[in-house]
Amino acid sequence: MGILSSLGSIFQSRRKAVNILVLGLDNSGKTTIINKMKPTDAQVTQIVPTVGYSVDRFSAGNMLFSSFDMSGQSKYRSLWENYYAACEGIVFVVDSNDRLRMAVARDELWMVLDHKDIVSNKVPIIVLANKMDEKGAMTPTEVTKELGLDSIRDQNWTIVATCALTGEGLQHGMEWLASNIRVHMDKRQNK
């Protein structure tokens, strides 16, 4: 087992390490998603709401993510912008079953997209339409319309249906993000 751990460390050190922001309203499932992306032995069984922010690491798509899980409570959302300049990607999590606050989620997402650091850097953005397992959840197409995602220009984005509890859609979404971060970083280096 020691040899395998050593080999794993060698290969992990060759992975590209990037910073991503995990944003969204409170109770959208951000912390549960990050927990599900970690190796099984590093996952916790009880999730508590994030106050301020927390940093976790996980890998996907041959990339090592340092994820900044930002609290989604309204009194903490103003802190998000302090981390925009240093991020290589954004994960915006939406509770697909929370129709009442979809307009608030849209407003918060567009404040992120319109921020000068995001406009100038144009990092890839993935919207995770979470809680798809719940009855009455909006489809990704409905979430796209409600958030106005089709209006995003000059920035690479996608939306993926997910269930943080089962992990459905998460690996696919993070692999998309890893691939698009690589493309984005290559473009920046070639300028």
186 known member of a binding site: no
Are the CB atoms for 90 and 123 separated by under 8 Å?
Answer: yes
How many other CB atoms are found less than 10 A from the CB of residue 40? 6
The catalytic residue among 12, 43, 46, 73 is: 73
Annotated catalytic, 189?
no
40 known member of a binding site: no
27 known member of a binding site: yes
148 known member of a binding site: no
Rounded Cα distance between 105 and 113, Å, is 12
165 known member of a binding site: no
28 known member of a binding site: yes
Are the CB atoms for 25 and 18 separated by under 8 Å?
Answer: no
135 known member of a binding site: no
Residue listed under structure tokens 């796209």: 144
131 known member of a binding site: yes
132 known member of a binding site: yes
26 known member of a binding site: yes
How many other CB atoms are found less than 10 A from the CB of residue 169? 19
The three-state DSSP-derived secondary structure of 153-167 is CCCCEEEEECECCCC
Contacts of 49 (CB under 8 A, 6+ apart): 26, 27, 31, 71, 73
Q: Report the DSSP pairing between strands 157-161 and 89-95.
A: unpaired
Per-residue tokens: 103: 């307009």
136 known member of a binding site: no
Residues labelled catalytic = 73
Known binding positions for Mg(2+): 31, 50
Known binding positions for GTP: 24-31, 72, 130-133
Known binding positions: 24-31, 50, 72, 130-133
